[in-house]
Amino acid sequence: MEVTALLLSRIQFAFTVSFHIIYPSFTIGLAAWLTVLEALYQGTGRAAYRVVFEFWLKIFGLAFGLGVVSGIVMAFQFGTNWSALSKMSGPIQGPLLSYETFTAFMLEATFFGILIFGRSRVPPRLYLLSTAMVALGTTFSAFWIMVNNSWMQVPVGYAMQNGVAIPNDWGKIIFNPVVWVRFPHMLLAAYITGAFCVAATGAWYLLRGTYRVEAHVMLRMGLFLAAVLVPTQIFFGHLNGEYVHDDQPTKFAAIEGRWHDEQPAGEVVLAIPDSATESNAYEIKIPILGSLIGSMSFTSKEVGLTDFPQSDRPPVLIPFFAFRIMVGCGLIMLGLAWIGSYLSIKGSIERYRLLLWLTFFSFPLPFIATLTGWFTAEVGRQPWAVYGVMRTADALTPFLTTRAATISLIAFCAVYAFIFAFGTFYIYRLMRAGPAPSLDLSTTAAVPNRPMSLADVRPAPSVRHLVSGE
């Protein structure tokens, strides 16, 4: 494969977007969960909710900052590497990104300081409102990004004038039916990511025999939320499949590994697609199921990749395997959430150490599922930057040299590697140190709305305890 400015720019954008999405997918769900925790604390006065809240707030603050930094750096690429795309789609994508600033960033900037520093400075209900507004801000951010990306997937509400996409119906752009299946799908992915990170942390503390009260709060709430959210996510995943089937048939055929028309169509469970021979090696297929999944029919005809010119087909291997990895992660998470929730209700989950270990090691699964879901959507859209309107090769900055693209790719990799190393190290330190010792319920339960003082907390563990993990 020839190394070109186009290839390097695509690698760079894939790298930075994949890196950036790790943090929003974590903080969006965590912000919503923090709101639930604060509401539970103020409503019940149970000190464990407050301790867990303060612990995760520190992690949220760090991850939120890292997400902002990685997102700002990522945005520069639209001007440096993809200026032709920016020129063509700027009248649509520019306002959408501005709406994110005016809604999401405004809420986050207004209330984030109160969330971090205002516990003892504002009334409890205002503090709860501030927590909810930060969560709402992160949700707005996800919404506008998904509107933007969904327009690139299924462009509507525009007219081309002199090679520029001019919006003529913002209602169609914002209320595109595709948005309203893709946005909940992304939002649920973020909630599930937060739920499993919290549950995995609770399992880790129980395995170490530390912070048992707080660990049970994390484990139970994380697993219960995931037990409800994962099936809902599967439903919205099916709705996403319907829009791909109808609006992006080449992507759907690549995901299915279907090379030729079939009636009825089978469902390829596993195979090794071969573009050279336009066939699958070592194929495992379930008859008829492909028609049922694609068209909710036992007899429907499903199109194959050979119906389309090779120049209009996406690379098959990435969306084919990425989709199956995403589904596999989802099924594993569903099993863990249901089994763990059942044992937690019975009050016996701590005795099943194997399940605790599996829950602990499950924390990468939602990140992997989110990343492979994006790989499926974005690589499957190729060779289009804006589906059916602008090819990716035409979206590149004119006269961008291979040398310049190489230098920028190396620079981005170095910056992001530093951010990742820094963030991972300090988040691990916070988790290793653990939450503050349990509060004295006798002094806080009766007056849940008063500011907590140092007298409510037993002395923090010494440095030796933090290092040794005692």
Q: What is the 3-state secondary structure (H, E, C) of 387-449?
A: CCCEEHHHHCCCCCCHHHHHHHHHHHHHHHHHHHHHHHHHHHHHHHHCCCCCECHHHHCCCCC
- Residues 108-147 as b or e (16 or more Cβ within 10 Å = b): beebbebbeeebeeeeeeebbbbbbbbbbbbbbbbbbbbb
| pLDDT attached to residue 108 | 86
Q: With 60 as the cut, is the pLDDT of residue 455 above it?
A: no
In angstroms, what is the C-alpha Rg of the chain?
24
The CA-CA-CA angle for residues 272, 274, 280, to 5°, reads 50
How sure is the predictor about 437, in pLDDT bands with cuts at 50, 70 and 90? low
Shortest CA distance to 203 belongs to which of 344, 64, 79, 86?
344
Handedness of CA 153, 376, 282, 264 (dihedral sign): negative
| Exposure of 117 in the CB half-sphere (CA atoms within 13 A) | 3
Residues 81/402, Cβ–Cβ less than 8 Å: no
| Exposure of 341 in the CB half-sphere (CA atoms within 13 A) | 18
Shortest CA distance to 279 belongs to which of 299, 311, 310, 304?
304
| pLDDT attached to residue 439 | 46
- What value does the mean pLDDT take over residues 331-342? 95
Q: 223-276: per-residue pLDDT in tens?
A: 999 999 999 999 999 999 999 999 999 999 999 999 999 999 999 999 999 999
Residues 6+ apart with CB under 8 A from 358: 336
| pLDDT attached to residue 75 | 75
Token pair 């390829």 is found at 268
Token pair 């890292």 is found at 66
Question: Per-residue DSSP letters for 220-247?
Answer: HHHHHHHHHHHHHHHHHHHHHHHHHHHH
Question: Per-residue DSSP letters for 316-353?
Answer: SHHHHHHHHHHHHHHHHHHHHHHHHHHHHHHT-GGG-H
Q: Where are the beta strands (DSSP E) in 38-126?
A: none
Question: Per-residue DSSP letters for 60-83?
Answer: HHHHHHHHHHHHHHHHTHHHHT-H
Give the 3-state secondary structure of residue 102: helix
| pLDDT attached to residue 1 | 66
Shortest CA distance to 49 belongs to which of 30, 58, 36?
36
Q: 318-334: per-residue pLDDT in tens?
A: 999 999 999 999 999 99
Q: Which two tokens stand for residue 355?
A: 């399940």
25 phi, psi to nearest 5 deg: -65, -25
The CA-CA-CA angle for residues 372, 196, 69, to 5°, reads 65
Q: 92-105: per-residue pLDDT in tens?
A: 999 998 898 888 88
Shortest CA distance to 81 belongs to which of 151, 6, 163, 21?
6
- What value does the mean pLDDT take over residues 392-400? 93
Mean pLDDT for the chain overall: 88
Q: Which two tokens stand for residue 460?
A: 């923090």
Amino acid, res. 349: I
Q: How far apart are CA 222 and CA 201, in angstroms?
A: 10
The CA-CA-CA angle for residues 450, 456, 459, to 5°, reads 150
Q: With 50 as the cut, is the pLDDT of residue 416 above it?
A: yes
Q: 133-173: per-residue pLDDT in tens?
A: 999 999 999 999 999 999 999 999 999 999 999 999 999 99
User: What pTM value is reported for the model?
Assistant: 0.89
**β-strand pairing of 279-286 with 267-274:** antiparallel
